[in-house]
A and B are shown apart, each in its own frame.
Chain A
Amino acid sequence: MILIAIIVIPIVAAAVAALDRRAAPGVTVAAALAAFALSVHVGLTVAAGGSASGIPGWIGADGLSALLLLLISFVGATGAVFSIGYMARTRAEGRLRGYYASYNLFLGSILAVPLLAELSMVWIAVELTTLFSVFLVGYAGDRPALEAAWKYAVLTLMGAAIALLGFLILFWGLRAAGGSAYTWDGVRSAAAGMPPALLGTAFLLILVGFGTKVGLVPLHTWLPDAHSQAPTPVCLLLSGVETSAVLYVILRLIPLAGGVHAGVWAQVFGLISVGAAAFLLLQVRDYKRLFAFSTVEHMGIIITAAGFGSAGAAYGAVYQLLAHAVTKSFAFLAAGLVLLAVGTREIERVRGLIRRSPLAGAAVLIGGLAIAGAPPFVVFLSEFSIMRAGIAAGDFLAVGLLALFVAIAFVGIMWHVARMAFGQPSEGMKPARLPVSARIAAAIAGIPVIVLGVYLPGPLHALLRLAAEALSR
């Protein structure tokens, strides 16, 4: 029942938001908090060895799903709180109902991805995440925003069509192996008996197709555009959890398709993405694009780790999923604070932020350090555990490249962020006051960024171990 409620709540909230403009922000926050509370309950139940009831064969949650739920609903809740003050300043009063309705539908569709157990429904959920977020990306309505929305829609929907053939071929393989239920469990138990040609082709089509939506290079071109043009509260979801939720589908398939070298493909795509993102990071001029490229980098790191295939690397991969969701959403929140304070996205025009707007300056500095992977933040720990697992598995070349690219990305992110935070405040920069809701959102989102690096709660650790099991062969 609880799992069904998690999907239904955002849908109901979307309907209410579409009908009543005044109630829309409150309902959105309440719905997201309710989904988060239920997800915490599911997480605790699963971590304690229990199982959450859904609809057998259609809706269910194991450790990996429960972890994703927790992350998505947390980011969804902070994004909802952040939306209140942020969107009120966009001077688009008339379209706020549409914004909140879309926000809820978008959140609901992301939550559905890990909850659904039937694979064709998973494909539909991923497709809906695009369709419900197209107008959020293009919300500003000016030429750059519409261009970004178009690229986002066309490229990710094309990817989804390619993945669709992959899912159909996977079903063919399931039947050829004598399996019947087209669920994650059904596919897992039939994988060994599938004809390798079918399993391999299905995996590659899904890797390329959904890889487009994850932002794997060279199919990433839409991502920095969409993630920089969308209203910042939406970026929390886009960058923090939407990419991870689609990556989750690929991650589940990698151990199943181990016999057809899925791990090697994952490492190749992963390392290319990390490397390309690291070099592109150095050249950005827009700080939201900076954080968007950091997402491409993180996605690459996670899929590379999953490609290593050992139990330790699987743990590192899910640990990085957690680290990415909390730190990247915080980094975008910080970017939103800067944008609210100074009104420009250009790195060149932001200087001495710490002195002019201490909260925005501190947030962007902490966010930058956290996503770049500085100790003691949690991204440092997850990246460290991935590299350790890679060395233990003997993948020295991959780990060497990974370490090099991560170091370049670190320098790139810190160079940009430090220029923004410190230095002589630029002339004529009169920071605006930050809305109360934005301050509250920053405080909520900041807690896990600060805490998780030094303390991992017991149940969360148990959940990570269970999630890693789902990714091990």
Chain B
Amino acid sequence: MAHGVIGSVNALIGGLFLLTSFAMVATRQVRGCLQQFVYQSILLAASALLIGGSSASWHLVAVGLITLITKPIVIPWLLRRTVPERIFTRREVALTINATASLLVALGLAVLSYFIARVLLAAAGAEFAAVNLPIGISGLLLGGYTLTVRREAVPQLIAILTMENSAFFAGIAIAPGLSIIAELAVAFDALVLAFVVGLLTRLIHERTGHTEVARLTELREEGER
């Protein structure tokens, strides 16, 4: 709004952020998914630094720096340590829904997010929210969608992490005043999440010889024979 150039740069960051969310729906190789997550986290940090810098909020700058350390660096490192290397080179040949159809659904979700955000923005304006809110909501929905169509464990885990990223992409614009203790705790939480789910992936790999969690179907639902 007021900050012309900064607003444009932030919009560019937002556009790229949305692009990573789309890419994650269609990227087949597990390593590629992780790479998209790294890009997305850097963009999240960049937006936080930009908004924090322009509004002289040291607090948002701190959030940006924490994000820059934990998400693009520590989480991939943790995953490389816990999950066997072979899994990262795997390609998901059979997606539950083919990539073209998935991208169409994703497009629909992004349009839907724009309308949801418009209703919220009409109720309470916030600087930068006009960009960050619709993209954050899209990222959240796309992450949820990615989670349901992916069959491999690591992409599902990354989908959850991108959902958190997206919530925060909206959060830095709509809730910049959140306490720094809460921000630190959430950053820590993301690390624990990556570690725990990564370790579970390793156990599943050791036990079953694969990490295609969609193939784990021993537990019967009621009414099945």
A135 at interface by CB-CB < 8 Å: yes
Whether A168 and B219, one on each chain, are in contact in the complex, defined by CB atoms closer than 8 angstroms, is no
- Chain B 188-202 interface 0/1 with A at a Cβ cutoff of 8 Å (1 = within): 010011001101100
Closest CB-CB distance, B221 to chain A, in whole Å? 8
Stretch at the interface among B46-54, B55-63, B137-145: B137-145
Residues of B within 8 A of A242 (CB): none
Instruction: Name the one of A118, A138, A168, A197 contacting B179, with C-beta atoms under 8 angstroms.
Output: A118
Stretch at the interface among B70-78, B100-108, B170-178: B170-178
Residues of A within 8 A of B156 (CB): 154
B123 at interface by CB-CB < 8 Å: yes
- Chain B 13-46 interface 0/1 with A at a Cβ cutoff of 8 Å (1 = within): 0000000000000000000000000000000000
B120 at interface by CB-CB < 8 Å: yes
Residues of B within 8 A of A158 (CB): 144, 147, 159-160, 163
Whether A161 and B160, one on each chain, are in contact in the complex, defined by CB atoms closer than 8 angstroms, is yes
Q: Given known contacts A118-B179, A118-B182, A153-B197, is B119 in contact with A197 (CB within 8 Å)?
A: yes
Closest CB-CB distance, B156 to chain A, in whole Å? 6
- Chain B 92-128 interface 0/1 with A at a Cβ cutoff of 8 Å (1 = within): 0000000000000000000000001001101110100
Whether A161 and B124, one on each chain, are in contact in the complex, defined by CB atoms closer than 8 angstroms, is no
B223 at interface by CB-CB < 8 Å: yes
Residues of B within 8 A of A229 (CB): 219
Whether A144 and B219, one on each chain, are in contact in the complex, defined by CB atoms closer than 8 angstroms, is yes
- Chain A 134-159 interface 0/1 with B at a Cβ cutoff of 8 Å (1 = within): 11001001111011111001100110
Q: Given known contacts A157-B160, A164-B164, A165-B137, is B223 in contact with A172 (CB within 8 Å)?
A: no
Residues of A within 8 A of B192 (CB): 128, 131
Q: Given known contacts A120-B185, A128-B192, A165-B137, is B203 in contact with A148 (CB within 8 Å)?
A: no
A182 at interface by CB-CB < 8 Å: yes
Whether A198 and B120, one on each chain, are in contact in the complex, defined by CB atoms closer than 8 angstroms, is yes
Residues of B within 8 A of A201 (CB): 116, 119-120
B204 at interface by CB-CB < 8 Å: yes
Whether B185 and A154, one on each chain, are in contact in the complex, defined by CB atoms closer than 8 angstroms, is no
Instruction: Name the one of B123, B159, B178, B221 contacting A196, with C-beta atoms under 8 angstroms.
Output: B123
B6 at interface by CB-CB < 8 Å: no
Whether A195 and B189, one on each chain, are in contact in the complex, defined by CB atoms closer than 8 angstroms, is no
Question: A285 vs B149: C-alpha distance in the bound complex, in angstroms?
Answer: 30
With both beta carbons as reference points, the residue of chain A lying nearest to B197 in the complex is identified as A153
Whether B174 and A162, one on each chain, are in contact in the complex, defined by CB atoms closer than 8 angstroms, is no
With both beta carbons as reference points, the residue of chain A lying nearest to B141 in the complex is identified as A162
Q: Given known contacts A135-B196, A150-B153, A161-B140, is B185 in contact with A124 (CB within 8 Å)?
A: yes
Residues of B within 8 A of A162 (CB): 140, 144, 163
Residues of B within 8 A of A127 (CB): 189, 193
Residues of A within 8 A of B175 (CB): 168-169, 171-172, 175
Residues of A within 8 A of B213 (CB): 147, 150, 154
Total A-B pairs in contact (CB under 8 Å)? 143
Question: A389 vs B170: C-alpha distance in the bound complex, in angstroms?
Answer: 41
Whether A143 and B207, one on each chain, are in contact in the complex, defined by CB atoms closer than 8 angstroms, is yes
Q: Given known contacts A141-B207, A165-B136, is B193 in contact with A131 (CB within 8 Å)?
A: yes
Whether A147 and B200, one on each chain, are in contact in the complex, defined by CB atoms closer than 8 angstroms, is no
Instruction: Name the one of B119, B178, B207 contacting A171, with C-beta atoms under 8 angstroms.
Output: B178
A173 at interface by CB-CB < 8 Å: yes
Chain B count of residues within 8 A CB distance of the other chain = 53
Closest CB-CB distance, B140 to chain A, in whole Å? 6
A225 at interface by CB-CB < 8 Å: yes
Closest CB-CB distance, A402 to chain B, in whole Å? 22
Q: Given known contacts A158-B163, A162-B163, A172-B175, is B182 in contact with A146 (CB within 8 Å)?
A: no
Q: Given known contacts A153-B196, A172-B174, is B167 in contact with A121 (CB within 8 Å)?
A: no
Whether A124 and B170, one on each chain, are in contact in the complex, defined by CB atoms closer than 8 angstroms, is no
Whether A161 and B179, one on each chain, are in contact in the complex, defined by CB atoms closer than 8 angstroms, is no
B1 at interface by CB-CB < 8 Å: no
A280 at interface by CB-CB < 8 Å: yes
Whether A154 and B160, one on each chain, are in contact in the complex, defined by CB atoms closer than 8 angstroms, is yes
With both beta carbons as reference points, the residue of chain B lying nearest to A166 in the complex is identified as B167
Question: A182 vs B171: C-alpha distance in the bound complex, in angstroms?
Answer: 14
With both beta carbons as reference points, the residue of chain A lying nearest to B137 in the complex is identified as A165
B208 at interface by CB-CB < 8 Å: yes
A284 at interface by CB-CB < 8 Å: yes
A456 at interface by CB-CB < 8 Å: no
A404 at interface by CB-CB < 8 Å: no
Question: A168 vs B171: C-alpha distance in the bound complex, in angstroms?
Answer: 6
Instruction: Name the one of B124, B199, B218, B221 contacting A143, with C-beta atoms under 8 angstroms.
Output: B218
Closest CB-CB distance, A65 to chain B, in whole Å? 19
Question: A171 vs B208: C-alpha distance in the bound complex, in angstroms?
Answer: 44
Question: A162 vs B170: C-alpha distance in the bound complex, in angstroms?
Answer: 12
A176 at interface by CB-CB < 8 Å: yes
Question: A134 vs B182: C-alpha distance in the bound complex, in angstroms?
Answer: 23
Question: A118 vs B179: C-alpha distance in the bound complex, in angstroms?
Answer: 10
Q: Given known contacts A138-B200, A161-B140, is B208 in contact with A143 (CB within 8 Å)?
A: yes
Further pairs besides A171-B177, A196-B123, A197-B122: 10, Cβ < 8 Å: A127-B193, A131-B189, A135-B199, A143-B216, A146-B204, A154-B156, A157-B197, A173-B124, A201-B116, A283-B223
B residues neighboring A (CB under 8 Å)? 116, 119-120, 122-124, 126, 136-137, 140, 143-144, 147, 153, 156-157, 159-160, 163-164, 166-168, 170-171, 174-175, 177-179, 181-182, 185-186, 189, 192-193, 196-197, 199-200, 203-204, 207-208, 213, 216-219, 221-223
A residues neighboring B (CB under 8 Å)? 118, 120-121, 124, 127-128, 131, 134-135, 138, 141-144, 146-150, 153-154, 157-158, 161-162, 164-165, 168-169, 171-173, 175-176, 182, 195-198, 201, 221, 224-225, 229, 280, 283-284, 289
27 A-B pairs within 8 Å (CB atoms) are namely A124-B182, A127-B193, A134-B197, A141-B203, A142-B207, A146-B207, A146-B208, A147-B217, A148-B219, A150-B153, A154-B156, A154-B197, A158-B159, A161-B143, A161-B164, A164-B164, A164-B171, A165-B137, A168-B170, A168-B178, A169-B120, A171-B178, A172-B175, A175-B177, A197-B119, A283-B222, A283-B223
